[in-house]
Structure 1
Amino acid sequence: MGTDYVHGYTPAETRRLSDQAGTLADLLHGGTTYAPGSRVLEAGCGVGAQTVQLVTRSPGIDLVSIDISEASLAQAKARVADHAPHATVDWRHADLHDLSGEKFDHVFVCFVLEHLPDPAAALTRLRGLLEPGGTITVIEGDHESAFFHPRSAQAQAVIDCLVDLQAAAGGDSLIGRRLQPLLEQAGYDDVQVGPRTVYADQNLPQLVDGFTRKTFIAMVESVRDRAIAAGLRTEAEWAAGIRDLEKSAAPGGTFHYTFFKGVGRT
């Protein structure tokens, strides 16, 4: 399940992931709880931003959290120790293919498929790890669902850089719209996918700060150096695009984005 993580493994990205998880906790995790004693696999735990939500919303689960980055795992362990000190997590530096012979009641995958060159194969592999009647929950975004006021071609251009760079790295930042067919093709039953929409304006300051600024604009900013090095934008064009995008977080600005959450069964 190797990947070129387009946003980079930086302190700024760690902060962004934490801000995102905290701001969107109810939106993304609403409706997802697991019974105590359930064996749950978190495939691609990253820095543990979503792990904290899993162990606090479903206390008593037997959670296995894996990631291919040892540095991210170390941060995840520290994060859970700080925010959920009584939780027990089986942390593993591992790829999906390292889990042969193991079975789980549930699998949770959040913001992982978008970075994979073959998400269908990953979903098929995960299905093989589920007990009969087990569930998979997948959450992904779709960067073309981002629209904002004031409109700006320069702001849209820097967003497009992120989309293009992720595609060049073998990923798909528009994958949210594909969750239903991907889950169906991987052989899951009873597939249900629905939108989870974020809308922010000056009357929702917590979302303006937590999502528009600290999640979305920060995510776009994470690929600045790559975009300039690839010749997609000049330094001046990039700065102008970010300035315009930041207007959506100013008084009178608005911002909209849609995540997609899918659940399937074996």
Structure 2
Amino acid sequence: MNTNTAYVHGYSSQETRRLGDQADTLATLLHAGTAYPVGSRVLEVGCGVGAQTVHLVRNSPGARIVAVDRSEESLAQARAHLATQEPGAEVTWRTADLFHLPFPARSFDHVFACFVLEHLPAPGRALAALRRVLRPGGTLTVIEGDHGSVLFHPDSHRAHEVIGHQVRLQAAAGGNALLGRQLQPLLRGAGFGDVVIRPRTVYADRTRPSMVEGFTRKTFIAMVESVRDDALGAGLTTAADWDRGIADLRLTADGDGTFHYTFFKAVAVNPGP
């Protein structure tokens, strides 16, 4: 992640697995329509452990992809992950901060950022930094979630409370778990044109067992569960209330439970000076 603020979900092996489960489960939903021409220069920022990089490579095998993250440890995991999933694929890995990218202006034809802006204290300034390295006429693709879009059955105030604790912790770390709804004005404010926002909705119930397992359980609930100690440490809740809320949230992945979440995918063009 390219920011000096804390990554609210942490850097554990469990989080690495969660990111992989999320990327694989949502690959068709989120990457549909994203394919770059052979020879085009593509920058992926905040590549983390390479969960999304694998799908970029699969969809655009002839593109020249440069993947950037500020964490050398994450980049090492990303290299190993790509080598396992796509042997022989060529990606250039660079350690750098998003706000200080080591590339000349107009270096790339396309830029891709997935689940990055939500962890930054200044997403508008980050978009300006990305626009600097994007050639005129080049495209920026941004994907973000929005925890305010969560709907589920059986409904539970206690389950919504534990989700709210994760939202508050992310805000305290300088991020915004409700960023998806803001993409259009953020991109326009950063000077991008031809901004198109396409909501990508996840819906899971017992008729979609792979989505229940891959998204409801292994992605969303696992993400909320990961902040338990921080929520207790910050005095946001008690252990008993947290455990009751998580138990209610898990019911959405059992029996007749249902779960809904909306991601927002934006594609915008750098109009140039």
Write the distance in 2 (CA, Å) between the matches of 1:46 and 1:6.
14
Q: Name the amino acid aligned to 1:86.
A: G
The aligned counterpart of 2:247 is: 243
TM-score by length of 1: 0.99
Describe the SS at the equivalent of 1:49: coil
The aligned counterpart of 2:112 is: 108
Write the distance in 1 (CA, Å) between the matches of 2:160 and 2:112.
31
The aligned counterpart of 2:155 is: 151
Deviation at 1:242, TM superposition (A): 0.6
* 1:57-116 Cα distance to aligned partner (Å, 9 max, x none): 100111110101111111100000001112111101111313241510000000000000
58, 71, 76: which one aligns with 1:74: 76
Any unmatched runs of 5+ in structure 1? none
Write the distance in 2 (CA, Å) between the matches of 1:244 and 1:34.
42
Write the distance in 1 (CA, Å) between the matches of 2:116 and 2:226.
17
Any unmatched runs of 5+ in structure 2? none
Write the distance in 2 (CA, Å) between the matches of 1:167 and 1:72.
23
Query: Residues 13-162 of structure 1 correspond to what in structure 2 (within 5 A)?
Result: 13-96=15-98, 97-102=100-105, 103-162=107-166
The aligned counterpart of 1:218 is: 222
Q: Name the amino acid aligned to 2:242.
A: W
The aligned counterpart of 2:11 is: 9
The aligned counterpart of 2:174 is: 170
The aligned counterpart of 1:182 is: 186
Write the distance in 1 (CA, Å) between the matches of 2:242 and 2:59.
40
Describe the SS at the equivalent of 2:213: helix
Write the distance in 2 (CA, Å) between the matches of 1:151 and 1:15.
28
Q: Name the amino acid aligned to 2:104.
A: G
Describe the SS at the equivalent of 1:107: strand
Write the distance in 1 (CA, Å) between the matches of 2:103 and 2:85.
31
Question: 1:229 and 2:233 equivalent?
Answer: yes
* 1:165-187 Cα distance to aligned partner (Å, 9 max, x none): 00011100000000000010000
Deviation at 1:143, TM superposition (A): 0.4
Write the distance in 2 (CA, Å) between the matches of 1:184 and 1:257.
25
Deviation at 1:156, TM superposition (A): 0.6
Write the distance in 2 (CA, Å) between the matches of 1:246 and 1:68.
34
Write the distance in 2 (CA, Å) between the matches of 1:209 and 1:243.
16
Q: Name the amino acid aligned to 1:78.
A: A
Describe the SS at the equivalent of 2:101: helix
Structure 1 outlier segments of 4+, above 4 Å: none
- What percentage of residue pairs aligned between the two structures are identical? 63
Write the distance in 2 (CA, Å) between the matches of 1:105 and 1:25.
22
Deviation at 1:7, TM superposition (A): 0.2
Q: Name the amino acid aligned to 2:74.
A: S
Write the distance in 1 (CA, Å) between the matches of 2:126 and 2:182.
14
TM-score by length of 2: 0.96
Deviation at 1:199, TM superposition (A): 0.4
Describe the SS at the equivalent of 2:52: helix
Question: 1:204 and 2:208 equivalent?
Answer: yes
